[in-house]
Amino acid sequence: MLSLTSVVVLSLGLHALGLTPPSNLPTVALGAFNASGSAIINSPDIDQAWNMLLNFSDYANWNPFVRQQTILNEWLLPAADQTPKENDKFLIVCQIPPLAAPVNASTPSNALNTRITYENLTDIIPAKHQVSWTTDFAPDWLIHSVRWSTVFDGLFGGAVGLIGDDLNKSFQAQADAMKAVMEGTYYN
């Protein structure tokens, strides 16, 4: 059994408290809002789950929350190599609330629920199956988010803020979709 956990913390330059996620993630500061989702994945293949998490180009084929995640070059255009590396800049196009699953690359987005952010890939830790990124489009004092994702033996989850319950639903939809793909029950 595998666990995949994401934690995104959004801080708006307000007080930061300590948060210890219920996983193998590092301690992160609590922001003005936190959201999360998780799913137990009945699969013994941690490497398949890790590769799925890092295969940004394939997100549109299964992820009802993050519809596009594109690594950018120094001119903020799509990079030729879409393999994630630390300090990469990338664009995220997501749906909050998420689309109804299952989805594929042809599933139309809801324009009213589309959100776009620019992010910086801060950490890739293969030995711990952890990856993190932060917002990269505004000064930290205005808005700052940190997202950690991990796969470990035993959950997928997520945490970020300002849009409340819809964001929680989005992280849960991503967790549920990854679980279904890994268990072979996802049909689109």
pLDDT tens digits for range 69-114 = 999 999 999 999 999 999 999 999 999 999 999 999 999 999 999 9
Average pLDDT over residues 49-65: 93
Locus of tokens 């599933």: 107
- Residue 151 in contact with residue 134, Cβ under 8 Å? no
Predicted local distance difference test score (pLDDT) of residue 65: 94
Average pLDDT value over all residues in the chain: 76
Phi–psi pair at 158, nearest 5 degrees: -150, 155
- Helix locations, the chain, DSSP H: 46-54, 164-182
- Residue 108 in contact with residue 184, Cβ under 8 Å? no
Q: Which tokens in the block code for residue 121? A: 């890939």
**What domains can you pick out in the chain, each with its CATH number?**
2-182 (3.30.530)
> Does position 13 have pLDDT exceeding 60, yes or no?
no
Predicted local distance difference test score (pLDDT) of residue 55: 95
DSSP state of 57: G
Among 13-17, 52-56, 108-112, the least confident range: 13-17
What is the SS3 assignment for 2?
A: strand
Predicted local distance difference test score (pLDDT) of residue 24: 61
* Helices 46-54 + 164-182 axis angle, to 10: 130
- Residue 175 in contact with residue 23, Cβ under 8 Å? no
